[in-house]
Chain A
Amino acid sequence: MLHWKIDVRVWSRRVVAWGIAMAAVGASALLAAQAPQQPFEKFTAESGESLPAEPLVIGAYAFVWVALVVYVFMLWRRIGRVEQELADVTARLAKRQ
């Protein structure tokens, strides 16, 4: 039951620390609220009207497929290798016993 006793010093320090943290968060929220919502520089860009969209969409789809297939393949190989080695070493350990 000892672990239920609260160490006053530790907890008072924690309360103070949390208080400061909350005050900081609150202060920043207040500051942010006072600033107008869109004070930051606007960024504008022209659109690439002349570009054909199909190759981009197909390219994106293809890239996702390729990336994931490559990753799955790499994982598959690594898993196979590690399991093979693990079986070997376990067998050797058992033989020694």
Chain B
Amino acid sequence: MSVIRSAWLIARKDLIVEARSRELAYTTLFFSMACVLVFAFAFVVEGRPLDDAAAGILWVAVAFAGTLALSRGFERERQSETLRALLLAPTERAAVYLGKLIGLVVLMIGVEIVLVPVIGLLFGAPVGRAPLLLAALLVTGTLGFAIVGTVFAAMLVRAHSRDVLLPVLLYPITVPVIIAGVRGTAAIFGPEPNFEAATAWLSILVFFDAVFGILALWTFAPVMSE
């Protein structure tokens, strides 16, 4: 069975579980809304949000929600011991990785579809100004975050203090993605939109995705074996 097909089956399994229980969807969405609200109180001074607050808050909410989805998603696998079953399946490790990655990315993009209009509403951010560019930034940034996150969450499944260690390990390595995402989004949202800058940041995100994607595919198999 080809890698793509196995990956799709695994992703489909996750998405079906999610569609039936909607546990991650609801909790992640609610958590990201709560984040945004807290930031709204913190960063709105005299009724006006600080400059570039909307871009920063959007990406922080994405990062936090992503971490939540990652740790809960893999916790599920650990509890039912399905991760071992997946690794024992007659398919390449890369397929397991890609399957979990696709599932996570779909979930995070679903959350972002709700998050972006809310940010537009709460902070008066011009989310409709360059929808394709914004979408591209969000997709590549989410992909970059998920690429690194899936490797680390999978390898931490059997470690001590995994809940604490996941953010400790994940955030420093994904800061470049968040920086690029924030700066690109801020370039779109700013009073004088700078679309060249946003495109330049987008190219950095694509580059990051390519490099870390390859790295993740290389390291997933050796890291998951005992």
Contact = CB atoms under 8 A, between A and B. Distances in A.
Q: When A and B assemble into the complex, do they touch directly, with CB atoms less than 8 Å apart?
A: yes
Interface of A: 13, 17, 21, 24-25, 27-32, 34-36, 39-41
B196 A32 contact: no
Contacts of B183: 40
A30 B203 CA distance: 8
14 contacts: A17-B217, A21-B210, A25-B210, A25-B211, A28-B207, A28-B210, A29-B203, A29-B207, A31-B200, A31-B203, A31-B206, A34-B199, A35-B199, A41-B197
B197 A40 contact: yes
A25 B202 CA distance: 12
A35 B133 CA distance: 14
B204 A32 contact: yes
Nearest to B183: A40
B126 interface: no
Interface residues of B, number: 18
B95 to A, nearest CB: 11
Nearest to B190: A41
B37 interface: no
A35 B197 contact: yes
B206 A24 contact: yes
Listed residue (A17, A36, A39, A41) with the most chain B CB atoms within 10 angstroms of its CB: A39
Given A29-B203, A40-B200, 7 more contacts: A21-B210, A21-B213, A25-B211, A31-B206, A35-B196, A35-B197, A35-B203
Contacts of A24: 206-207, 209-210, 213
Contacts of A29: 203, 207
Listed residue (B210, B213, B214) with the most chain A CB atoms within 10 angstroms of its CB: B210
Nearest to B194: A39
Contacts of B203: 27-32, 35
Contacts of A31: 199-200, 202-203, 206
Interface in B184-226: 194, 196-197, 199-200, 202-204, 206-207, 209-211, 213-214, 217
Nearest to B214: A21
B86 interface: no
Contacts of B209: 24
Contacts of A25: 207, 210-211
Contacts of B211: 25
Contacts of B3: 13
A62 B66 CA distance: 44
A85 to B, nearest CB: 25
